[in-house]
Amino acid sequence: MFKKILIANRGEIACRVAATARRLGIRTVAVYSEADRTARHVALCDDGVLIGAAAARDSYLNYRVIIEAALASGAEAVHPGYGFLSENGDFAEACADAGLVFIGPPPSAMRSMGSKSAAKTLMAVAGVPLVPGYHGANQDADFLQREGDRIGYPLLLKASAGGGGKGMRVVEGPGDFKPALASCRREALNAFGDEQVLLEKYLIRPRHIEIQVFADMHGHCIHLYERDCSVQRRHQKVLEEAPAPGMQPERRAAMGRAAIAAAKAVGYVGAGTVEFIVDPDGTFYFMEMNTRLQVEHPVTEMITGLDLVEWQLRVADGQPLPLTQEQLTLRGHALEARIYAENPEHGFLPSTGMLRHLRMPDALAFAVGADGGDGGDGGDDADGANRRPAAVRIDAGVREGDLITPFYDPLLAKLIVWGEDRPQALSRMQQALAQWQVAGPATNLAFLQRLVASPAFCAAELDTGLIERHQALLLPPPGRPPFQALVLATVAQMAGESGTNRAQAGNDLPWSDASGWCLGRRRQRNLMFFDEHARHEVQVQYLADGWRIAHDGRSATVRLLGRDGPALVLAVAEARGPGSAETILRASVAGDGDVLHIFVAASHHALTYLDPMAHAGLAEAGDGRLTAPMPGKIVAVLVASGQQVKSGQPLLIMEAMKMEHTISAPGAGTVDEILYAVGEQVADGAPLLTFH
């Protein structure tokens, strides 16, 4: 077995690989960009090498520098993780030329499957069923339009290289084809360096089911059951589970045989995933093969008791597969939720900023894999097989205080749960999601909570359109913050003022205290908070041992019983008539400047305290400027100065975090000045154009 490996990746997958390597006694080398100097994956590895600037093309995609780092560090092998260079045949070949073992499939297999078009041709020869479409070399736009008309609409345009939902567009009719093709090509070229596309018939309400395969250098190839990855937004997976609900043994066996045939057709070695699109009647079609470990591999590990990273290391070392197909067992059900720094209420736009506050599910309540590890019971099985699955596992790539930048994918962590059956796994997922607390960048946590509690998901009514079809339920309009949240914000603000005043005064005189002491009467004041949508005025009367807090017709007597950092314990007696009972309220309030992040009753509310002195003369927005919703690069300008535009009309296209985002007109008007040109970088909140 290897003594030292270099992990050519970052984030949670680098942490994941490091954990298994540590368990096996293998030393690890991290590579990092200038933006990742203090990243978690660097801290978890034994050594680290700076490989370049923040932009991925200058660091994590520069394989020559990575190979130099591996050789200089004494590493014997390179694990590519997923994304970046994991499916780059040139990188795998360069590793071999340098005397390094590439922990992945041979370059020939990667190249065969790296082009979706070429892969479909191979699969047709191997007898694997294909979706009707076009995947040829002719990329003339007019020719592609004719092929699209022949196949019929709706139609799926897909980048031939890469994956992750990038370079994909659903075309509803002939008139939408050319604009979608142009956008798809731009995004594919930027993400993968290849603008070639393929066309497929877009199936209505299909499921996305994939088969995990594993092959060794001795001719053995097996499948490790299936994963259902149907729940997606913007063609990217959000929730995955294994096994697929409703999967019959006969269909599992048929899909497994097809997946093994696909792997053998390209001489595959290592871990790979064969992805199928499945019609409601159960008919399945080959989509693509990912020649790497998948983001969702933990659910397979949970139901098999295997460590797939360990298997990768053993296969790359020339060892045979630890188990045969007949020796595999499937136990229970597993779910994975991807926790992203993104804003679901604004089209799932990526979000950036510092993680000011981060609390994950209680490690004492659940059996969490240490340091994002395999989540098993730590057994010493020589083949990494049949470990007892943990109830809850977290694969995280971040820590409190980390900065989420626009340079990389916004995935923060993965929450994986296991149960004896799907209902138990679902219950554990709901409970664990409710324990997460993140303040700083926006996240999809509240969206995930609604999703796993939705009737359709609970009933396993799964297909790739689930999120879009249930948008009204999953993305409801913002509501007013609950009374509890305003009470907590008020107490946190009052307690903070008290501590600050005493520290500044340096004494215990009553007039240096903010407890409301006044000569001969009780002090009263109003506090103003606001969120994205409204202002909220709270009336406060100081009491001997607390406050009476009122808002919008409700009031309560509140006492602060305990405070430990952001954690608060309050005694609350709401005025609801004679004999109102006092209840204990436990919550967390994390401050980020003037913003208070309140975590109570499995919900998160961000409220900004409006300091009447600091914000005197604050003006309302509305100066005719359209600002950038995130840092990024302008890739297309769709209007000109002096042009009249309609509400909702596309104006600019930005690229951020490897995805394109269209900036539309908030209302009808005339464009005055365009402030950025194609190719220019823009900061978060920067004015993009002016109009009237």
- List the CATH number of the domain containing 140: 3.30.1490.20
Both 328 and 354 in a single domain?
A: yes
Residue indicated by tokens 């689930």? 466
Eight-state DSSP code of residue 289: E
Range of 534-548, 572-586, 614-628 with top mean pLDDT: 534-548
Do the domain assignments include residue 27?
yes
CATH code, 524 = 3.30.700.40
Supply the range of the domain harboring residue 519: 483-609
Do the domain assignments include residue 121?
no
Both 351 and 237 in a single domain?
A: yes
Domain edge (last residue) among 451, 474, 497: 474
Both 85 and 180 in a single domain?
A: no
Residue 503 has pLDDT above 50, yes or no: no
Domain edge (last residue) among 542, 577, 609: 609
Both 225 and 148 in a single domain?
A: no
For 529, other C-beta atoms within 10 Å of its C-beta total: 25
Both 214 and 278 in a single domain?
A: yes
- Beta-carbon contacts of residue 68 (< 8 Å; ≥ 6 apart): none
Q: Using CA atoms, how far apart are residues 565 and 145, in angstroms rounded to an integer?
A: 60
Do the domain assignments include residue 113?
no
Higher confidence at residue 411 or residue 122?
411
Please tell me whether residue 436 adopts helix, strand or coil conformation.
coil
Whether the Cβ atoms of residue 243 and residue 303 lie closer than 8 Å to each other: yes
Both 264 and 397 in a single domain?
A: yes
CATH code, 649 = 2.40.50.100
Both 364 and 220 in a single domain?
A: yes
> To which H or E segment does residue 381 belong?
none
Residue 113 has pLDDT above 80, yes or no: yes
Both 211 and 183 in a single domain?
A: no
* pLDDT at residue number 579: 61
Do the domain assignments include residue 125?
no
CATH code, 247 = 3.30.470.20
pLDDT 10s digits, 420-466: 999 999 999 999 999 999 999 999 999 999 999 999 999 999 999 99
For 629, other C-beta atoms within 10 Å of its C-beta total: 19
Do the domain assignments include residue 174?
yes
Tell me the DSSP string of 293-342. Answer: --TTHHHHHHHHT--HHHHHHHHHTTPPPSS-GGG----SEEEEEEEESE
Total count of domains within the chain: 5
- Beta-carbon contacts of residue 253 (< 8 Å; ≥ 6 apart): none
* pLDDT at residue number 365: 36
Both 302 and 185 in a single domain?
A: no
Query: What is the β-pairing status of strands 77-79 and 101-102?
Result: parallel
User: Binning pLDDT at 50, 70 and 90, where does residue 615 land?
Assistant: very low
Both 517 and 587 in a single domain?
A: yes
Tell me the DSSP string of 393-427. Answer: EEEE---TT-EE-TTS--EEEEEEEEESSHHHHHH
Domain edge (last residue) among 429, 446, 474: 474
* pLDDT at residue number 620: 32
Q: Using CA atoms, how far apart are residues 598 and 538, in angstroms rounded to an integer?
A: 16
Examine the residue annotation and report whether 523 is marked as an active-site residue of this protein: no
Both 470 and 331 in a single domain?
A: yes
Do the domain assignments include residue 88?
yes
Asked if the bond preceding 243 is cis, omega within 30° of 0, the reply is: yes
3-state secondary structure 33-80: EHHHCCCHHHHHCCEEEEEECCCHHHCCCCHHHHHHHHHHHCCCEEEC
Q: Using CA atoms, how far apart are residues 285 and 269, in angstroms rounded to an integer?
A: 23
- Beta-carbon contacts of residue 503 (< 8 Å; ≥ 6 apart): none
Q: Of the listed 40, 292, 314, 356, which one is catalytic?
A: 292
Q: Using CA atoms, how far apart are residues 571 and 558, in angstroms rounded to an integer?
A: 6
Both 213 and 326 in a single domain?
A: yes
Q: Percent of the chain at pLDDT above 70?
A: 89
User: Binning pLDDT at 50, 70 and 90, where does residue 649 land?
Assistant: confident
Enter the pTM of the model: 0.80
Do the domain assignments include residue 90?
yes
